[in-house]
């Protein structure tokens, strides 16, 4: 069997697995967020928090919950790293410096998981398992909560209430993420991912002598790293490390986990607004982008243009033998079209165009299918832009799911769309214009520029993958990327929740013959065009200086 055919069959298997999980998981999530019942463990948690889960929150209260919980998360994770040197169970690892501790705390709370540290030689058990892994759960649950709040904004009428943040946070964690993680972690262990607390220990080696391994609770962290579209690796090499991703099957399973919740959330959305077809229309756009990007990536990586790859006879630099070109390409696209950022191969050593595809995937706003929660609200925001454009064409007040998209709504939408590109382009320009940040580049020329563009693209979109040649452990990058990740995560959430509040107050507009059929294939096409035009054009000049220049030169 040719490697290309094997890659295509792996994609088919992936599509089949996602399709099988789509309805049950999507319906389950819709029930979780609509239920009025509380599990016993949830009641205990609410009592500990001191929150009444039945209290409906208006959007400012919901937002305050999100921000308070996340602010505490940053402070807690920062303190944990700063105190690592004195905490037990830290394997003797030293405390993390202030700039790097801030960067890492911001990164994990913002669901980015950008890492400027070496996992296996910087973080002990306590920080990894009790700090970083916990944010993998709760930052994902926060993203899902905000998405659900927006969906409720569409589904509800003449109310300002979007639900209870604490209830959504706890339910997302307890009823969705935890059960899936327990099962997924054990599947990963069965493929060979390690799960122990042996710390650093000596192991015999072939030919005599010993080697030192770093053990840890890897499988339990690996599964939520993919499932929660987080991406922060236990080890420096992330999901290319054989202890995180031992074979082709674990690789396919991890890609499945990355795409599972974001794609199924379109079903949740459809169910909650009372029309699964609305979810299918969005899913169709997501799937088209995902399949198109994967095909392009396979094409460019298999044809391996670039002097070093021509010499080697294939683009295997930075890729593992057991995954090959196909398994690496599928993973790279899935991780950058979601907000995951885990890598099983190193994007900096992709072909020029391949590297560009990973960057463009993030720049589209990570909406195909996007991060857990953030993918859905990102795509719904784009859908609002699409109906607005359609409304302009025919001269009608645009409406979506029975809600008018008026001045107020379109202002929030525009702010959402503008934040991320502004962060990416301004900070990239500053880093390139200033004298010292460029010292961090490993490669020169167009690829060096790409390293910096990639870093801010990844930070602002909460992805977390890197053109890892960039030495990001400097005060400049730790600080600016930390700020970019926080702003790129929480400013858009402000506008999403404000929009949700505004929609929830409206009375529904009756469907007439002139209503745009947003459940139809033609709308999926319009949505696709909007994604490409709005976000694609924003970044074209920057992409032309980096990956396009490199790709066209080779």
Partner 1 sequence: MNTSAGTTARLLGAGLRALLVLTALCGVLYPLAVTGIAQATLPGKANGSEVTVDGEVVGSHLIGRRYDLPPKDGQETPEPDLTWFQPRPSNGLGTNSVNTQYALVLSGATNRSGDNEELIDWVTDAKAAVVADNSVPGHPVDPADVPPDAVTSSASGLDPHISPEYAALQVRRVAERNDLPVHRVAELVRDHTEGRILGFVGEPRVNVLALNTALKELAESASAH
3-state secondary structure string across 428-497: HHHHHHCCCHHHHCCCCHHHHHHHHHHHHHHHHCCCCCCCCCCCCCCHHHHHHHHHHHHHHHHHHHHHHH
Q: Is 169 in the site for partner 1 (CB under 8 A)?
A: yes
| Beta carbon nearer to partner 1, 51 or 87 | 51
| Beta carbon nearer to partner 1, 313 or 395 | 313
- Nearest distance from residue 405's CB to partner 1, in Å? 32
Instruction: Tell me how many degrees the CA angle 95-99-101 measures, rounded to the nearest 5.
Output: 45
**Interface with partner 1 (CB under 8 A), residue from 4, 39, 54, 197:** 197
Query: Which of the ranges 145-153, 205-213, 452-460, 499-507 carries the binding residues for partner 1, by CB under 8 A?
Result: 205-213
- Nearest distance from residue 214's CB to partner 1, in Å? 6
CA 425/CA 409 separation, integer angstroms = 25
| Beta carbon nearer to partner 1, 173 or 340 | 173
The contacts of residue 33 (CB under 8 Å, 6+ apart) are 148, 163, 168, 171, 172, 268, 272
Instruction: Tell me how many degrees the CA angle 84-342-346 measures, rounded to the nearest 5.
Output: 110
Q: Is 130 in the site for partner 1 (CB under 8 A)?
A: yes
| Beta carbon nearer to partner 1, 16 or 511 | 16
Q: Is 345 in the site for partner 1 (CB under 8 A)?
A: yes
- Nearest distance from residue 478's CB to partner 1, in Å? 15
- Nearest distance from residue 62's CB to partner 1, in Å? 12
Q: Quick check: 144 and 152 in contact, CB under 8 A? A: no
From the CA atom positions of the chain, what is the Rg in Å? 22
Q: Quick check: 160 and 59 in contact, CB under 8 A? A: yes
- Taking CB under 8 A as the criterion, which residues in 366-405 touch partner 1? none
Torsion of CA 115, 119, 125, 131, to 10 degrees: 0
Token pair belonging to 127: 């920080």
- Nearest distance from residue 170's CB to partner 1, in Å? 8
- φ, ψ for residue 162, nearest 5 deg: -110, 5
Q: Draw the binding track, 449-468, toward partner 1 (x: CB under 8 A; -: no contact).
A: ------------------xx
Query: Which of the ranges 175-183, 291-299, 412-420, 454-462 carries the binding residues for partner 1, by CB under 8 A?
Result: 175-183
- Taking CB under 8 A as the criterion, which residues in 4-63 touch partner 1? 5-6, 9-10, 13, 45, 48-51
CA 391/CA 523 separation, integer angstroms = 12
Q: Quick check: 412 and 401 in contact, CB under 8 A? A: no
Query: Which of the ranges 256-264, 438-446, 487-495, 529-537 carries the binding residues for partner 1, by CB under 8 A?
Result: 438-446
**Interface with partner 1 (CB under 8 A), residue from 20, 79, 94, 532:** 94
Token pair belonging to 278: 């609305």
Residue labelled with tokens 């756009």: 285
- Taking CB under 8 A as the criterion, which residues in 95-124 touch partner 1? 117-118, 120-122
Q: Quick check: 466 and 441 in contact, CB under 8 A? A: no
Q: Is 198 in the site for partner 1 (CB under 8 A)?
A: yes
Q: Is 348 in the site for partner 1 (CB under 8 A)?
A: yes
| Beta carbon nearer to partner 1, 42 or 366 | 42
CA 249/CA 127 separation, integer angstroms = 29
- Nearest distance from residue 438's CB to partner 1, in Å? 16
Q: Helix crossing, 445-460 with 352-363: angle to 10°?
A: 20
Q: Is 447 in the site for partner 1 (CB under 8 A)?
A: yes
- Binding-site size, partner 1 (CB under 8 A): 127
Q: Quick check: 107 and 477 in contact, CB under 8 A? A: no
Query: Which of the ranges 147-155, 280-288, 374-382, 441-449 carries the binding residues for partner 1, by CB under 8 A?
Result: 441-449
- Nearest distance from residue 79's CB to partner 1, in Å? 11
| Beta carbon nearer to partner 1, 403 or 447 | 447
| Beta carbon nearer to partner 1, 145 or 286 | 145
Q: Draw the binding track, 216-255, toward partner 1 (x: CB under 8 A; -: no contact).
A: -x-xxx--x----------xxx--xxxx--xxxx-xx---
Task: Give the CA distances from residue 270 to residues 15, 256, 416, in Å, rounded to whole numbers and listed in that order.
Answer: 20, 21, 23
- Nearest distance from residue 200's CB to partner 1, in Å? 6
Q: Is 170 in the site for partner 1 (CB under 8 A)?
A: yes
Q: Quick check: 445 and 481 in contact, CB under 8 A? A: no
Q: Is 166 in the site for partner 1 (CB under 8 A)?
A: yes
Helix (H/G/I), strand (E/B), else coil: 404: strand
| Beta carbon nearer to partner 1, 430 or 549 | 549
| Beta carbon nearer to partner 1, 194 or 281 | 194
Q: Is 324 in the site for partner 1 (CB under 8 A)?
A: yes
CA 370/CA 474 separation, integer angstroms = 29
- Taking CB under 8 A as the criterion, which residues in 260-319 touch partner 1? 304-309, 311-319
**Interface with partner 1 (CB under 8 A), residue from 23, 43, 64, 396:** 64
**How far from each other are the two terminal CA atoms of the chain, in whole angstroms?**
29
**Interface with partner 1 (CB under 8 A), residue from 137, 477, 523, 539:** 137
């Amino acid at each position: 069997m040719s490697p290309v055919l094997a890659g295509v069959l792996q994609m088919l298997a992936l599509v089949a697995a996602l399709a099988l999980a789509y309805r049950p998981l999507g319906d389950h999530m819709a029930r979780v967020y609509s239920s009025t019942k509380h599990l016993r463990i949830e009641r205990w948690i609410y009592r500990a928090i001191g929150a009444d889960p039945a209290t409906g929150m208006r959007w400012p209260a919901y937002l305050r919950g999100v921000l308070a919980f996340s602010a505490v998360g940053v402070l807690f994770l920062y303190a944990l790293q700063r105190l690592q040197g004195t905490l037990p169970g830290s394997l003797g690892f030293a405390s993390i410096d202030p700039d790097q501790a801030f960067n890492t705390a911001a990164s994990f709370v913002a669901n980015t998981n950008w890492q400027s540290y070496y996992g296996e030689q910087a973080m002990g058990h306590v920080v990894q398992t009790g700090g970083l892994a916990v944010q993998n759960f709760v930052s994902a649950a926060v993203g899902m909560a905000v998405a659900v709040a927006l969906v409720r904004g569409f589904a509800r009428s003449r109310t300002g209430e979007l639900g209870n943040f604490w209830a959504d946070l706890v339910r997302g964690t307890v009823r969705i993420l935890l059960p899936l993680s327990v099962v997924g972690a054990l599947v990963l262990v069965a493929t060979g991912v390690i799960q122990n607390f042996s710390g650093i220990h000596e192991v015999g080696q072939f030919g005599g002598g010993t080697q030192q391994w770093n053990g840890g609770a890897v499988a339990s962290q690996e599964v939520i790293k993919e499932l929660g579209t987080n991406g922060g690796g236990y080890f420096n090499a992330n999901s290319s490390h054989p202890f995180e991703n031992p074979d082709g099957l674990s690789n396919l399973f991890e890609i499945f986990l990355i795409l599972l919740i974001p794609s199924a959330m379109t079903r949740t959305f459809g169910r909650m607004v009372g029309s699964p077809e609305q979810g299918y229309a969005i899913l169709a756009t997501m799937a088209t982008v995902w399949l198109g990007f994967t095909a392009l990536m396979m094409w460019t990586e298999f044809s391996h243009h670039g002097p070093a790859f021509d010499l080697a006879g294939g683009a295997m630099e930075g890729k593992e033998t057991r995954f090959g070109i196909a398994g690496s390409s599928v993973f790279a696209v899935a991780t950058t079209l979601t907000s995951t950022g885990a890598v099983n191969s190193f994007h900096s050593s992709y072909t020029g165009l391949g590297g560009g595809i990973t960057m463009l995937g993030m720049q589209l706003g990570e909406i195909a299918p996007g991060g857990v929660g953030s993918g859905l609200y990102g795509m719904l925001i784009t859908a609002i832009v699409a109906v607005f454009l359609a409304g302009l064409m025919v001269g009608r007040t645009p409406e979506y799911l029975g809600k008018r998209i008026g001045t107020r709504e379109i202002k929030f939408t525009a702010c959402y769309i503008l934040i991320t590109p502004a962060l990416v382009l301004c900070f990239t320009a500053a880093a390139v214009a200033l004298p010292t940040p460029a010292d961090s580049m490993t490669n020169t020329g167009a690829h060096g520029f790409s390293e910096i563009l990639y870093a801010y693209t990844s930070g602002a979109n909460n992805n977390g993958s890197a053109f890892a040649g960039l030495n990001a452990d400097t005060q400049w990058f730790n600080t600016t990327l930390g700020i970019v990740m926080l702003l790129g995560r929480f400013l858009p959430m402000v506008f999403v929740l404000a929009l949700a509040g505004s929609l929830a107050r409206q009375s529904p507009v009756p469907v007439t013959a002139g209503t745009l059929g947003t459940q139809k294939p033609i709308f999926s096409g319009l949505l696709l065009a909007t994604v490409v035009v709005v976000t694609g054009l924003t970044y074209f000049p920057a992409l032309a200086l980096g990956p396009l220049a490199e790709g066209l030169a080779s």
